[in-house]
Each structure stands twice: as structure tokens, then as C-alpha cells.
Amino acid sequence: MEIKIGELAKRTRCEIVTIRYYEKEGLLPKPARSDGNFRLYGDAHVERLQFIRHCRSLDMKLGEIQALLDFRDNPNQDCGEVNALLDMHIQQVKARVEALLNLEKNLTVLRERCSGARHVEACGILKGLTDCSCHSVSAVSSFAT
């Protein structure tokens, strides 16, 4: 099977610009070219692009995906490193979930500072945002050291 980039995009529900980007980054192998210099893709491109898109749906970074593709391309290796890569990704996801839960808590506390309709000058939310010292110059500089 040989298909052009538009058909590959349709089959994989992936934007053409993204397909070209994945080629440029080395995630997708360069396709053959037609006599008219059109890119021609095969079943292997479809399958590899679907694998990449599934990894992206799991919020994996391109470097992680490249590592997984390298493992796939060398199937006789031990999969312990694949497990380690996924364990590290899981830890990153847990850290982000924790950060988001903390964000939700902070927003909820801020929201509770204003219980109803009043003049903006008395808005507890705006006062809370103004009074916050977490982003002051001294607080920011302490993180930099």
C-alpha cells in the first residue's frame, strides 16, 4: 500500500503538519517519493504513527516516545528499561496531579474569600490576589538560589 500524506492524516487522525514534524524529529522514517516527488507512505508508517499518537495521548514527551520506538525497533532487548521509562513517567504524572490538587485547593480558598455580589473594591478574591506574597521579589529570588 502506498498512500499520500493527506490519506495518512485521515487514517490516523493526525494533522499533516504534525506528520511532517514527526518526520523531521526522526520519529517517523522518511517516506519514499513518487515520480512527482509526493511523499508515499506504507502500512509501517500508519502503524508507527498510531503508536506515536497513542503515546502522546498518554502525555509522553517526544524523547520518551523516541526511546520507546528505539526499543520497538530492537525487539531482542530486555524490557526492563521500558518498565523504568514508564515508571518515571508515572512519577511525573503523580507530581503533576499533586500540583493540580494543590492549585485547586488554593483556588478554592481564594474563591471562599468572596461570597456574593458586592462592589469590586470589597472583593475578597481581588484582595487575596493583591495581598499574596508568594510571588514577591524576595520569594522569587529565594527559589532561584
Could you tell me if residue 89 is inside a domain? no
Q: Which amino acid is at 21?
A: Y
Could you tell me if residue 58 is inside a domain? yes
Is residue 1 within 8 A of residue 42, CB to CB? The reply is yes
Distance of CA 52 to the CA centre of its chain: 12
CATH number, domain of 60, equals 1.10.1660.10
CA distance 135 to 67: 37
User: What domain count does the chain have?
Assistant: 1
* Tens-level pLDDT at each residue, the chain (145 residues): 899 999 999 999 999 999 999 999 999 999 999 889 999 999 999 999 999 999 999 999 999 999 999 999 998 989 999 999 999 999 999 999 999 999 999 899 888 888 777 788 778 888 888 876 666 555 445 444 4
Q: Which amino acid is at 58?
A: L
Could you tell me if residue 16 is inside a domain? yes
CA distance 100 to 94: 10
CA distance 72 to 74: 5
- Provide the residue range defining the domain that includes 6: 1-77
Could you tell me if residue 93 is inside a domain? no
Beta carbons within 8 Å of 49's beta carbon, 6+ residues apart: 8, 12, 14, 19, 22, 28
Could you tell me if residue 63 is inside a domain? yes
Could you tell me if residue 49 is inside a domain? yes
Could you tell me if residue 67 is inside a domain? yes
Report pTM.
0.76
Could you tell me if residue 137 is inside a domain? no
